[in-house]
Amino acid sequence: MKIKVSEIVDKIDAQVIGDDSVEIEDISPIQHSKEGHITFISNKKYSKYLSTTKASAVIVGIDINVDAIKGKTFLQVKNPYFAFSKVVKLFHPDKLLIEEGIHSTAVIGEKTNLGQDVSLGAHVVIGRECTIGDRTVLMPGVIVGDGAKVGADCKIYSNVSIRENVIIKNRVIIHNGTVIGSDGFGFAFEEGKYYKIPQIGTVVIEDDVEIGANTSIDRAALGQTVIARGTKIDNLIQIAHNCKIGEDCVIASQAGISGSTIVGNRVQIGGQAGFVGHITIGDGAIIAAQSGVTKPINSGQYVYGTPANDYKKAFRIQAALRRLPELIKDVMNIKKRLAKLEKNRGTNV
């Protein structure tokens, strides 16, 4: 399929520099593009490829000066990454990853309701009294427990486990191997032994949430663990029981949030960051990767380190730390000089 640059421009509201009649066949990464491809730059690190790429067209930001580069067509946009996502879909429209319909090996429990155009892959298991919304796809090996509700237009990838009574709303994507609604880690210590606290709450995943692969989101002991609308969660992440994660958050891989912690809206959490339980993180906070958050964080605060500290303070400490071995030498030298002065003063007086 060939698409003219002029048609692409219509979709992404770009300003064209160069020939907009060029025909494009595919989209590819800038280092590996061929003639007839379109590519993009959203990270300035890759600007060095602008003059050498074989791509016929390049989506760039409005701040990139391309006047000196000839023989290519540039599409200048405000948000090249967003524009890129639209162009990808032109060349690679979303398609069903399994055969349409209900596979003959799928097992569906009593009193379970399937919406219109639901697709269930091979060996899917759905428990009793569940609801699966219209056009939702459960890929092979997905297992849904009794009483769970999955909304419309969801994509649940292979080998995901959704436990009993979990509620998943609309347009939710959950990647392979992820577990929603496993028991929270709660034990009472009594006379030298741990006794399990029954975990009878549930998990609610709101609209437009995406959850990566092999992540675990525990059900509440009582009440609900909640992932609010639009939040994006990466792979191998731990969300413990009774957490509430706000709207439009982004949580990078291998981060872990302990029980009953409340995360605000639009919070950004770096990879491998950890949080103690029972604290509140304000809206718009940024938590750097590998940080260890031990106290509440204010709205808009940017923290770093273990224990997590205001970003600027943490960086100042870190810079100072590099000078520490030198500082120790300095102080030893000072002590000698001081002792000498003191001795002299003694003889003087």
Residue numbers annotated as active site? 241
Cβ at position 133, least distance to a copy of itself in Å? 19
Residue whose CB is less far from a copy of itself, 79 or 301: 79
Cβ at position 67, least distance to a copy of itself in Å? 26
Cβ at position 51, least distance to a copy of itself in Å? 20
Residue whose CB is less far from a copy of itself, 19 or 29: 29
- Report the side by side order of strands in the sheet with 15-17: 15-17, 73-77, 57-61, 37-40, 26-27
Cβ at position 223, least distance to a copy of itself in Å? 5
Cβ at position 225, least distance to a copy of itself in Å? 12
Cβ at position 202, least distance to a copy of itself in Å? 12
Can you read off the two tokens belonging to residue 282? 């304000």
Q: Each residue of 191-201: b (16+ CB within 10 Å) or e?
A: eeeeeeeebeb
**Number of other residues whose CB lies within 10 A of the CB of residue 314:** 19
Alpha-helical runs (H) found in the chain: 5-12, 80-91, 311-322, 324-348
Do strands 143-144 and 125-126 pair parallel, antiparallel, or not at all (unpaired)? parallel
CA distance 116 to 139: 16
CA distance 186 to 165: 19
Q: Which element (helix H / strand E) includes 267?
A: none
Q: Is the peptide bond before 307 cis (omega within 30 degrees of 0)?
A: yes
Cβ at position 228, least distance to a copy of itself in Å? 13
Q: On the CB side of 183, how many CA atoms lie within 13 Å of its CA?
A: 8
C-alpha 262, offset from chain centre:
17
Residue whose CB is less far from a copy of itself, 115 or 292: 292
Residue whose CB is less far from a copy of itself, 115 or 271: 271
Residue whose CB is less far from a copy of itself, 19 or 329: 329
Residue whose CB is less far from a copy of itself, 62 or 200: 200
Composition of the chain by helix, strand, coil, percent to 5: 20, 30, 50
Residue whose CB is less far from a copy of itself, 19 or 320: 320
Contact 249, 227 (CB under 8 A): no
Question: Which candidate, 188, 198, 244, 247, places its Cα nearest to that of 217?
Answer: 244
**Number of other residues whose CB lies within 10 A of the CB of residue 78:** 12
Can you read off the two tokens belonging to residue 218? 């525990």
